[in-house]
């Protein structure tokens, strides 16, 4: 494929998540990395040393490069504003999840893209894991019968830095949105209600951003869902799920220990290739703006539940 036939995609942010997206864009078929906007000078120097065009700000990226699309991997609390700026410039956007750390910001970003008539895809990469796509097809075809319960687990090897936490929206917004989107997409049911509880910290006190949490949710089709989240796991970052149905049971360790980084990167590559096809007029195969709003609304409900200090003990219940 000649360079003229490739989709030129710029990248905003080359830090923690951006570095993974950078490798994915470089591997993706039919994609050309147009350039990177990165405010940290040391990172820009490293990119330049590798022959990558690096700019201090997004305006320079827009002006200096002919962009067919952009991938936003800046800190989460900047996502909604950046989506608005690129869609105003009529540049199609693939935005790393979440689309914002507040539902109002996410809705505003979705509205901005719709008003501009610009493609907006959101980076829920689980939708591009082959094992999960195959399981979703089997559920949709009725092969497993009625879904009774789905349990999703996401446990990271170690907690993020304090700097990352400050911009992430907490464990519910940073981590749970993946599981909540996965539940909706996988079983085809909406989240009707949920409750969340977090583990106490080393000081014995509850926290609105704990390093471990569990969510219980009821779904529109009658199924129940649980989500287990953690930031201190003896193995490498891992994700898995269990599914109980009237005609079967499945346990899928789709991202496990040392092999997880390969699964993660492969899904990111597939996601970037899907975005490129959508820019060229193909169907949107990934998550759309309304998916992002639904996942974040549920995550914010979980965050409020985690932040509640009202604990009703079994012994306090009425006889």
pLDDT tens figures, 97-154: 999 999 999 999 999 999 999 999 999 999 999 999 999 999 999 999 999 999 999 9
Domain boundaries defined on the chain: 3-126+264-288, 129-255+297-307
- Per-residue pLDDT for 310 more than 60? no
pTM exceeding the 0.85 threshold for the entire prediction: yes
Between the alpha carbon of residue 82 and those of residues 37, 168, 309, the distances in Å are: 12, 16, 35
| Whether residue 65 has pLDDT greater than 80 | no
- With a pLDDT cut of 90, the percent of the chain lying above it is 86
Contact (CB, 8 A) for 285 and 119: no
Q: Could you read off the pLDDT of 157-209 as tens digits, one per residue?
A: 999 888 888 888 899 999 999 999 999 999 999 999 999 999 987 766 667 78
The fold for domain 3-126+264-288 equals: Rossmann fold (3.40.50)
Q: Which CATH superfamily is domain 129-255+297-307 in?
A: Dihydrodipicolinate Reductase; domain 2 (3.30.360.10)
Q: What is the pLDDT of residue 315?
A: 52
Phi, psi of 176 (to 5 degrees): -65, -30
Contact in structure between 293 and 99 (CB atoms under 8 Å): yes
**Mean pLDDT across the chain, nearest whole number?**
93
Is a pLDDT exceeding 70 seen at residue 1? no
Strand 212-219 to strand 224-230: parallel, antiparallel, or no bridges (unpaired)? antiparallel
pLDDT of 28 above 80:
yes
pLDDT digits 0-9 by tens, 262-271: 999 999 999 9
Q: What is the pLDDT of residue 163?
A: 87
* DSSP β-ladder status, 31-37 and 54-55: parallel
Tens digit of pLDDT for each residue in 241-255? Answer: 999 999 999 999 999
DSSP state of 172: I
What mean pLDDT do residues 223-249 have? 98
The span from the CA of 67 to the CA of 69, in Å, is 5
């Amino acid at each position: 494929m000649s360079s003229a036939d490739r989709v030129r995609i710029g990248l905003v942010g080359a830090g923690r998540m951006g570095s993974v997206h950078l490798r994915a864009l470089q591997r993706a078929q039919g994609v050309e990395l147009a350039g990177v906007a990165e405010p940290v000078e040391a990172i820009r120097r490293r990119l330049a040393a590798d022959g990558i065009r690096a700019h201090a700000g997004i305006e320079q990226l827009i002006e200096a490069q002919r962009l067919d699309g952009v991938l936003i991997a800046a800190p989460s609390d900047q996502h909604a504003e950046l989506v608005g700026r690129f869609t105003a410039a009529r540049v199609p956007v693939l935005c790393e999840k979440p689309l914002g750390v507040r539902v109002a910001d996410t809705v505003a970003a979705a509205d901005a893209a719709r008003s501009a008539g610009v493609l907006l895809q959101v980076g829920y990469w689980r939708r591009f894991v082959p094992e999960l796509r195959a399981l979703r097809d089997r559920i949709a075809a009725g092969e497993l019968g009625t879904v009774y319960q789905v349990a999703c687990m996401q446990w990271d090897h170690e907690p993020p830095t304090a700097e990352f936490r400050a911009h992430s929206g907490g464990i519910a917004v940073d981590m749970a949105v993946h599981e909540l989107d996965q539940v909706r997409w996988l079983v085809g049911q909406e989240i009707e209600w949920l409750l969340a509880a977090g583990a106490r910290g080393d000081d014995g006190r509850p926290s609105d951003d704990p390093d471990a949490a569990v969510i219980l949710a009821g779904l529109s089709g009658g199924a129940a869902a649980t989500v287990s989240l953690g930031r201190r796991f003896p193995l490498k970052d891992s994700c898995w799920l269990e599914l109980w149905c009237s005609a079967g049971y499945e346990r899928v360790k789709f991202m496990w220990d040392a092999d997880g980084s390969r699964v993660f990167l492969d899904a990111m590559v597939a996601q970037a290739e899907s975005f490129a096809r959508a820019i060229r007029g193909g169907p949107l195969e990934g998550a759309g703006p309304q998916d992002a709003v639904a996942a974040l609304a549920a995550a914010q409900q979980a965050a409020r539940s985690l932040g509640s200090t009202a604990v009703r003990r079994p012994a306090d219940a009425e006889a």
